[in-house]
Amino acid sequence: MMNKLIARTLPYFPKKFVWVFSRKYIAGETIDEAILACRQLNDNGMLVTVDLLGEFITNLDQAKNNKEEYLTIIERFESENIKGNYSLKPTSFGLLIDKEVCYQYVREIVARAAASNNFVRIDMEDSKCVDLEIEMFRQLKAEFPAHVGLVFQAYLKRTLDDLKALMDIHSEEQPTNYRLCKGIYVEPKEIAYKDYDEVNACYLEDLEYLLKNKVYVGIATHDRKLVEGAIKIITENNIPNEQFEFQMLYGVTPELRKEILNKGYKMRIYVPYGKDWFGYSTRRLKENPKMATHIIKSLFIKG
């Protein structure tokens, strides 16, 4: 109850108060701040993927502005030799307003990244976006086979079937590339698992399926049990390091992150930035009220 109360009331607090905890998890408001954070991560042996905040837009002018910002991001990151790639949410480009405009904007970003031999990850959003985002991925994968990937959420009951259905575009020459996460959006129990152990079991089932089928996987989790389960699958099946990486959010579970790095595994950090940090922070807390406990602890306990 306390977590839910904090989650509901936080949007009404002064921004300066919210920033006290948000600053640990967001690189800043500007490209310069994002580049600084990414360079520091690179210097500490980690790759990055950068994400411009602002998925809840209301018009196509905002979508165009986001597209232009991403093109600037790519230009800056490539010219400054940041070791990383790019993540984006299609709703930032008008997916739920005009899907054709959205597709053209996202395609332009992927084409620009591909021209630098880089990569764009399409983030999976809530259930009303899943089919649209899989369709977009299929289209882009056909044109840019080595330069675009997708995210899947293990808590959705449909996920394993979706992964199997997409095997028709996977090959050893041009493998598909997915990030696998638990999922954070609030979904009805009819379409999403709610129980912790059940979600974890589905995550490991999905992961094992992908790795055994030679799909490249970004193993995105901060759950020690899942990290241990993933390493067990990797070890038992002799999965080469070139077929996977671990991924974590900026500022989250730094000690576990360090342990994974010390084992010799590749680590990529998801680095969000942008002027919409307040909306991002409060929305994520509403979607996952359990974060409130961690946020309060983070104000006083390092790590």
Active-site residue set: 123, 179
Instruction: Give the Cα separation of 212 and 205 in Å (integer).
Output: 11
Taking the C-alpha atoms of residue 269 and residue 238, their distance in angstroms, rounded to an integer, is 25
- Distance separating alpha carbons of residues 50 and 41, to the nearest angstrom: 12
Q: Residue 281: exposed, middle, or buried by beta-carbon count in 10 A (0-12, 13-18, 19+)?
A: buried
Residue 106 and residue 97: Cα distance in Å, rounded? 14
Query: Within a 10 A sphere around the Cβ of 165, how many other Cβ atoms?
Result: 11
Q: For the chain, give the number of residues.
A: 303
From CA 286, how far away is CA 292, in angstroms rounded? 9
Distance of alpha carbon 116 from its chain centroid, rounded?
21
> From residue 111, how far is each of 53, 70, 138 by CA, in Å?
21, 12, 15
Determine whether 134 is exposed, middle or buried from the number of CB atoms within 10 Å of its CB (0-12, 13-18, 19+).
middle
